[in-house]
């Protein structure tokens, strides 16, 4: 079987995707014929011979005959374009098989505000949140946020991953500075109550129309204010404990919630859902990633190892789910 690994992309998570793609290709090469296909920052598809083998043209995939030679395209893109439904729509229209969730599920999970509504419908506890558009009226925005939230609070782009752009806001002065910096960009941000507690995450394997399996839960311990981009990929003091040392009842709840949101959102392949457990043992849902990192230090590969999967077997399972 022939596998094309899509990696790179135009998003702020490009560097992580490049590492994910390399790791996936190296592992799957032991079992399949594998080729890396880089998605450039202007959304061209380039093979290992540096040839453009497909491109985006007016919202459609053009000149993509080369891609039809692959049995499966392994999507190792993260963030905008690769994880938000855009790539999935292009591949669907072209009739190309790919790993992971489809267009609608990808769009839903990338939109944190909409996914939170789905999670609340399942009865999950969530931090108090507020969707804002960062326009030019700084005074109005600050007043609107302070009318709902107490400090500290968390602000995050509504459609980003890997904690890119997430900030902790501790005071009125911090909020004014943040809003002033972002003013006029018309970017959607989600403002959330800051929940202090244990950070837990759980991967799920399966297609939502059939049986899905939760991987072992990870507890993340970091000296940073939260598990931000640097803590994920650069901070050597960050601890990722797998399986998490938590009560059985909490472990089962995390896994159940991760399976439920995976299924309710109509996801396929691999997802990873993040939670906070507060001091009263209330489990708060944070978000679901439809294209989790697959670098050597990423969370889901660690969970897979704890579940007894060799890395290549774990990736092969994702391929088989696409088939």
Active site residues: 13, 162, 233, 272, 274, 287, 289, 293
DSSP-derived letter for residue 217 is P
Q: List the structure tokens of 307.
A: 């579940």
User: For residues 138 and 178, what is the distance between their CA atoms, to the nearest angstrom?
Assistant: 10
Q: List the structure tokens of 124.
A: 């999950």
Peptide bond into 138 cis (omega under 30): no
Residue count of the chain, please give it.
323
User: For residues 72 and 68, what is the distance between their CA atoms, to the nearest angstrom?
Assistant: 9
Task: List C-alpha distances in Å: 10 to 36, 192, 266.
Answer: 16, 27, 25
E strands, 178-282, in order: 187-193, 197-206, 212-214, 218-221, 239-241, 270-278
User: For residues 27 and 311, what is the distance between their CA atoms, to the nearest angstrom?
Assistant: 7
SS3 percent helix, strand, coil of the chain, rounded to 5, is 35, 30, 40
């Amino acid at each position: 079987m022939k596998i094309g690994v899509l990696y790179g992309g135009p998003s702020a998570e490009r560097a992580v995707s490049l590492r994910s793609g390399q790791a996936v290709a190296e592992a799957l090469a032991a079992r399949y014929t594998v080729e890396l296909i880089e998605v450039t920052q202007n959304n061209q598809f380039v093979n290992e011979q540096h040839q453009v083998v497909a491109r985006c043209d007016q919202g459609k995939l053009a000149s993509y005959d080369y891609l039809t030679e692959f049995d499966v395209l392994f999507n190792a893109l993260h963030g905008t374009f690769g994880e938000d439904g855009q790539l999935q729509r292009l591949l669907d229209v072209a009739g190309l098989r790919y790993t992971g969730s489809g267009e609608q599920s990808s769009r839903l999970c990338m939109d944190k505000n909409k996914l939170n509504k789905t999670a609340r419908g399942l009865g999950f506890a969530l931090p108090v949140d507020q969707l804002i558009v960062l326009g030019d009226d700084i005074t109005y925005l600050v007043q609107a946020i302070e009318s709902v939230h107490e400090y500290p609070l968390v602000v995050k782009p509504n459609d980003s991953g890997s904690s890119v752009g997430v900030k902790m806001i501790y005071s009125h002065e911090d909020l004014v500075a943040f809003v002033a910096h972002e003013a006029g960009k018309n970017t959607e941000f989600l403002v959330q109550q800051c929940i202090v507690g244990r950070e837990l995450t759980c991967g799920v394997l399966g297609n939502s129309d059939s049986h899905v399996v939760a991987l072992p839960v990870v507890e993340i311990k970091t000296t940073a204010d939260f598990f931000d981009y640097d803590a994920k990929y650069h901070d050597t003091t960050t601890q990722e404990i797998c399986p998490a040392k938590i009560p059985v009842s909490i472990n089962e709840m995390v896994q159940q919630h991760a399976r439920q949101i995976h299924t309710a959102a109509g996801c396929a392949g691999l997802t990873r859902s993040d939670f906070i457990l507060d001091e009263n043992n209330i489990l708060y849902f944070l978000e679901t990633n439809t294209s989790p990192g697959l670098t050597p230090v990423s969370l889901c590969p660690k969970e897979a190892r704890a579940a007894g999967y060799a890395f290549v077997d774990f990736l092969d399972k994702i391929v088989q789910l696409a088939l």
